[in-house]
Amino acid sequence: MSKINARILIVDDDTDILLAAKMYLRQHFQTIHTEKNPENIPDLLRNESYDVILLDMNFSRDATSGKEGFHWLNKILEIDPAAIVIFITGYGDVELAVQGIKEGATNFILKPWENNKLLATLEASLNIRASKVELENLRGTNKMLAADQDHVFSNIIGTSDSMKKVLKTVEKVAKTDANVLILGENGTGKEVIARAIHRASHRNSQMFINVDLGAITETLFESELFGYKKGAFTDAREDRPGRFEVANKGTLFLDEIGNLLPNLQSKLLSVLQSRKVVRLGSSKEIPVDVRLICATNMPLYEMVRENKFRQDLLYRVNTVEITIPPLRERIEDIEPLITYYIETYCKKYKISQKRINAGTLKRLQMHNWPGNIRELQHAVERAIIMSEGNILEPEDFFMNEINKENSQDVLPANMNLEDTEKMLIRKVVDKYGGNISRAAKELGLTRASLYRRIEKYGL
């Protein structure tokens, strides 16, 4: 029979108890240490790590009150707050044992004990220990990641006025528990903004759970978000919490909320109103405390007018709205983004540092970037991999078919400001079939200003 890889410490002033426990438990666990004198507990814990500690409640100088047991329980928890302590008592004092659990003990056993019950208690306690260690590791990781961020926006690259407004809003809303709706095209960085809000909030030591609603089928919606009980459906072989429960006390990010079908919208709304979930196969309501952030690239207000999205759900999720501008509207952010991704991928692929020349940068700034930052990121990664020299050229960024599709968006490197304006006016006027009013509106000009420029450039 294979032994459980665990370290058990038994502290009792009765040598017969220590011997009996050690002889039985060493059949099931890798390491069993015994100690008669509780005064040695601090030294033991500083030198060793134990998964479970069996601690007598009453030592020889005070045989019935349990005060010594409580004293050493507190000492143990001071040294190791995650310690699992099981009280041993020979007097059947249930009230005293329950008080011990309230003060930090995990469980208690009565002596003389039944070996099977002792083993079951230890195995259950080891599961608790594993969960505590896992939780502490997660919290430690979150704190370490937070510590690595000198500023909450350190991984958000954007010096344009439009991005400064976004970041200012993020800074304000992060300090509250208000629900946030993030709007923006695909690839603009909606999840990055959501994570920034979480990191700057009072919930930053708790979980950030990301749910892509666009990837969850209608049949899996409830089980994924609300959880299920064992036996709730064919493959439900164990109880499982949903994303709301996992995100309890933390932040729940619902991406692509615009893709939700109307019947699923009503189920989500019900949970947001009650702040309670019911697992599939159960009738028990479970309270949840989450900070909700939603995101979509879809026109929710139009969808409300067309009865495709519930108005009451929209009002529930959009206490504060943040709209992330597309990359084509924040051209000044393209250069720092390219620089960042060049450094990132040169380091990732262990390639000597590359750089981009002014002509190539200008062409990239004139590209429309329909895929936004995500498209730019992939373009830089490809350029780093495929380029032969240390200077990145236009052909390293754009495949032939992209150049063909966007030929009007990529300008020669030697064009000046007047040439660029002339080309843009011609393109927009052609787009609207010579309709000056519509062209002027898109260009942000008055009709008179647009006519003057048309006359100036002989268009």
Query: What are the tens digits of pLDDT across the range 353-397?
Result: 999 988 889 889 988 898 999 999 999 999 999 888 899 988 888
Least confident of 135-139, 147-151, 306-310, 336-340: 147-151
Q: Is the pLDDT of residue 405 over 60?
A: no
Q: Is residue 152 within 8 Å of residue 196, measured between CB atoms?
A: yes
Is the bond leading into 370 cis (omega within 30 degrees of zero)?
A: no
> Both tokens of residue 151?
């500023």
Residue 444 and residue 438: Cα distance in Å, rounded? 10
- How high is the mean pLDDT of the chain? 86
> Both tokens of residue 99?
């008080």
What does the pLDDT read at residue 148?
Answer: 46
DSSP-derived letter for residue 181 is E
Taking every pair of C-alpha atoms in the chain, what is the biggest distance, in angstroms?
107
Q: Which helix (H) or strand (E) holds 193?
A: helix 190-199
**In sequence order, what are the beta bridge partners of 54?**
10, 86
> Both tokens of residue 194?
């959501």
3-state SS assignment for residue 311: helix
Instruction: Work out the percent of the chain whose per-residue pLDDT is above 70.
Output: 88
**In sequence order, what are the beta bridge partners of 448?**
none
Q: Is residue 312 within 8 Å of residue 348, measured between CB atoms?
A: no
What does the pLDDT read at residue 133?
Answer: 76
Q: How confident is the model at residue 255 (pLDDT cuts 50, 70, 90)?
A: very high
Q: Is the pLDDT of residue 222 over 50?
A: yes
Nearest partner of 222 among 276, 266, 259, 264, judged by Cα: 264
- CATH class, domain 4-136, is alpha beta
Q: In sequence order, what are the residues at sequence separation of 6 or more whose Cβ sits closer than 8 angstroms to the Cβ of residue 124?
A: 107
Extract the runs of DSSP E, i.e. beta strands, from 161-275.
180-183, 208-212, 227-228, 240-241, 251-255
Q: Which amino acid is at 254?
A: L
What does the pLDDT read at residue 151?
Answer: 45
What does the pLDDT read at residue 407?
Answer: 46
Full-model pTM: 0.60
Q: Is the pLDDT of residue 249 over 90?
A: yes
Phi, psi of 66 (to 5 degrees): 80, 0
String of b and e for 99-118 (b: at least 16 CB within 10 Å)? ebeeeebbbbbbbebeeeeb
Least confident of 54-58, 85-89, 428-432: 428-432
Q: Is the pLDDT of residue 411 over 90?
A: no
Provide DSSP, 226-244. Answer: HEE-TTSSTT--S-EE-HH
String of b and e for 35-50 (b: at least 16 CB within 10 Å)? bbebeebeebbeeeeb
What does the pLDDT read at residue 286?
Answer: 94
| Segment of 98-102, 106-110, 321-325 carrying the highest mean pLDDT | 321-325
Matching CATH topology for 4-136 and 176-324? yes
Q: Report, at the CATH architecture level, how domain 328-405 is classified.
A: Orthogonal Bundle (1.10)
Nearest partner of 9 among 28, 36, 27, 1, judged by Cα: 36
Nearest partner of 226 among 180, 284, 293, judged by Cα: 284
> Both tokens of residue 6?
């665990």
What does the pLDDT read at residue 37?
Answer: 92
Phi, psi of 253 (to 5 degrees): -105, 110
Q: Is residue 255 within 8 Å of residue 213, measured between CB atoms?
A: yes
Nearest partner of 286 among 296, 276, 295, 294, judged by Cα: 276
Residue 317 and residue 406: Cα distance in Å, rounded? 37
List the domain boundaries for the chain: 4-136, 176-324, 328-405, 417-457
Burial class (CB in 10 A: 0-12, 13-18, 19+), 293: buried
Q: Which residue has the tokens 């937070």?
A: 146
Q: Is the pLDDT of residue 404 over 50?
A: no
Q: Report, at the CATH architecture level, how domain 417-457 is classified.
A: Orthogonal Bundle (1.10)
What does the pLDDT read at residue 144?
Answer: 52
What does the pLDDT read at residue 61?
Answer: 53
Residue 366 and residue 416: Cα distance in Å, rounded? 12
CATH code, residues 176-324? 3.40.50.300
How many alpha carbons lie under 13 Å from residue 130 in its C-beta half-sphere? Answer: 8
Phi, psi of 197 (to 5 degrees): -60, -45
Q: How confident is the model at residue 342 (pLDDT cuts 50, 70, 90)?
A: very high
Mean pLDDT across 186-213: 94
Q: Is the pLDDT of residue 155 over 50?
A: yes
What does the pLDDT read at residue 338?
Answer: 95
